[in-house]
Amino acid sequence: MRAITPNIYEIDTEAFGQDKIVASYIIKGRDKTAIIDPGFPSSAPVIRNKLKANGFDPANIDYVLLTHFHLDHSGGTGAILKDSPKAKVAIHKRAAFYVRNFGKIVGGARMVFRPEIVKKFGEARDVPHESVVSVIDGDSIDLGGGIRVRVLHTPGHCPDEVSYFEEASRSVFTGDVACLQYPHLNYVPIPAGSPPIFDLAEQLSSLTALKSIKAEKILLPHYGEVGGCWDDFIDSSVATVENTKKKITGMFKENIEFQQMVERLRADIIRASGRKEEELPAFLSTIYLREMLKTGLMGFFAYLLEYAPYPRAFLQEMCTAPVTRNA
C-alpha cells in the first residue's frame, strides 16, 4: 500500500499477477473506512493481505464504493464482504441490479474476453440485496473527521459510471470516464470504450463537467496517481477520445479488418510511450493491451454504428425514473 494523503491509500491489486494494471483505494475517516473498486475477484486475497499488513482490519471496512459494475472494478466485492460483513456497497442506481446478480456481469465478460483471460478473473460472488446502497449524483458519504466523499455521475464509459470526490484533499477517483494511463506505457492516455452501451457524446460531456471541481489529486483505477494540472488532464482525455474517434472512422474508410485496427492502435500507443516493445512487461504488451484495445474498439463500434440504440433508450428511461433509496 502507498499513502497518497494521510487518509488515502493506493493498493495495487496485482491483477493477473501483474503490477500496475488495476488500482484500488482506501479512504480512512475518523469514524468509517471505505474501499474504492476492489478489482477482479482473484484480487480479493491480495487486498486482504495488504490491508492486514498495513494495520487495517478488513472487518472494519464500512463501505465498498464502486465506480461502475464492470468486473475489473466490482468483481471482488462479494469476496471483500466475506471479510467485511458490515460493509455497505454503494453503486449508481442503474447498476444495483448487476452487483446483486454477478452472473450477469460474468456472462458479459465471457462474451468479450478470451477464455484464458476469463479464467484469471476468479469467481465473483453475488452481493446480498441488503448490502447494496443505490447512489445518485450529488450524494455524499461522510466518513467522519471532515472526510466526506461526494458522488459525481459521469456516464459515457457506461451509463452507471460515477466518480468519487474526496473534498478535504480535493482528490478525484475517476473510474473509467477519463483515459487510462499506465506507468509501464509512460502514462500515454488511452480511451476506455466499452461494449455495448459506450456513449462517446456522454463521455465527452462528463469530462467537460468534471473540469469544474478543480481537483488537486487525480487517482485512476488504471493506473494510480497521475501528476499535473487537472485542467490539462481533462483536456488531454477529451482530445484523446476525439482523436481516437477520428482514427477509427479513418480506418473504416480504409476498409481494414478489425484485428488490424487493434494492432494499429496498439502500435500507436507503444510508439507514443517512447518505449521499445521488448522493454515492456510481456503480459501488458502482448495480451492485456490487445484485449483492452479490442474491448475499447468494440465500444466505439457500438456507438458509431449504433449497435445498441434500444438499450440506450431503455437506460435513459431508467435514469429519469423515480429513485428507490435504501440505507
> How does pLDDT run across 270-281, given as a tens digit for each residue?
999 999 999 999
Give the burial class of 294: count Cβ atoms within 10 A of its Cβ; 0-12 exposed, 13-18 middle, 19 or more buried: buried
Instruction: Output the pLDDT for position 206.
Output: 97
Residue range 2-237 in CATH 3.40.50.300: no
Exposed / middle / buried, residue 83 (Cβ in 10 Å: 0-12, 13-18, 19+)? middle
Strands 33-36 and 63-65: parallel
> Of the ranges 53-57, 149-153, 240-244, 301-305, which one carries the lowest mean pLDDT score?
301-305
Least confident of 41-55, 96-110, 207-221, 236-250: 96-110
Q: Which residue shows C-alpha cell 492485456?
A: 288
pLDDT at 187 over 90: yes
Residue entry with cell 476468479: 122
pLDDT > 60? residue 161 = yes
Mean pLDDT over 303-324 rounds to: 54
Average pLDDT over residues 166-184: 96
